[in-house]
Amino acid sequence: MIVFYINHFRWQNTFVTMSEWYKTWFDSEYYHLLYKDRDHTEAENFIQKIYQYLTPAPHALMLDLACGKGRHSIHLQKMGAIVEGCDYSENSIQHAKQFENNALCFYTHDMRNPLPKKYDYIFNLFTSFGYFDTLKEHQQTLNHIYTGLNDNGTFVFDFMNIPFILDQLISHETVTKGPVEFNIVRKEINGTLQKHISFKDNGQHYTFTEEVAAFRPDEIMAMMKKAGFAIQDTFGDYALSPYHSTHSKRFILIATK
């Protein structure tokens, strides 16, 4: 029986604490299996919409921050941009590297650290924020994004819409993906949204927990403004419909430097 929901454990020769759940879960094959429907088609449709909205100059330099396996980076580059994707997960970056070309590259990076160069656009998509223990680390991440943009640069931030998610919270769910039946329990605890995921595969039991800060849109906007950003627009889904606090699934924010 393998249980990852303990305070400290060893993972790929380093000790991680439970509060650092994102170091293991996103690096595991099971994360990619559970979310396999959040795929290239979803990414391609969204990128086409956002590109039409942003109308970037040809060959604008873009960063997909916390790019995972690079599904959005690939489509941003196909639209004509020069794109870099970075992520903490070495396995995801390793996978993404097969798509590299002279206008697309990937590197590992912890978003809590300063960016290595300046970009015209930075994207942080599909709830790739809210993982850290302290507000300070989240603010620091946004500060680094601000500093990592060229003057007049644009930041596209896509988070879950917490008021809607909490109102519609499905507390228990069983999801079958391929050979695996995932049992999912969701709870709001102390300002975080916790998702306990347990399943059995090849005779082994596994348990992972996602824990994401339940930042409400007004809290996100306050952090953005503190970093120096001007809020340009908000949207409520990947079709870029207007944002409504009670029925939008996403909170997509466009901020400028």
Positions that interact with ligand SAM (CB under 6 A) = 22, 26, 66-68, 71-72, 87-89, 92, 109-112, 125-128, 131
- Choose between 90 and 167: whose C-beta lies nearer to ligand SAM: 90
- Choose between 67 and 255: whose C-beta lies nearer to ligand SAM: 67
User: Residue 43: in which H helix or E strand, if any?
Assistant: helix 40-54
- What CA–CA distance (Å, rounded) separates 222 from 148? 19
- Choose between 230 and 251: whose C-beta lies nearer to ligand SAM: 251
240 burial (CB, 10 Å; 0-12 / 13-18 / 19+) is middle
Residues 6+ away with beta carbon under 8 Å from 83: 62, 63, 64, 73, 76, 77, 103, 104, 105
CB of 1 to ligand SAM, least distance (A): 26
CB of 203 to ligand SAM, least distance (A): 27
CB of 53 to ligand SAM, least distance (A): 18
Strands 180-189 and 172-177, how do they pair?
A: antiparallel
Burial state string for 192-214 with b = 16 or more CB within 10 A and e = fewer than 16: ebbbbbbbebeeeebebebbbbb
Residue number of the CB closest to ligand SAM reads: 68
- Choose between 107 and 205: whose C-beta lies nearer to ligand SAM: 107
- Choose between 72 and 257: whose C-beta lies nearer to ligand SAM: 72
CB of 186 to ligand SAM, least distance (A): 15
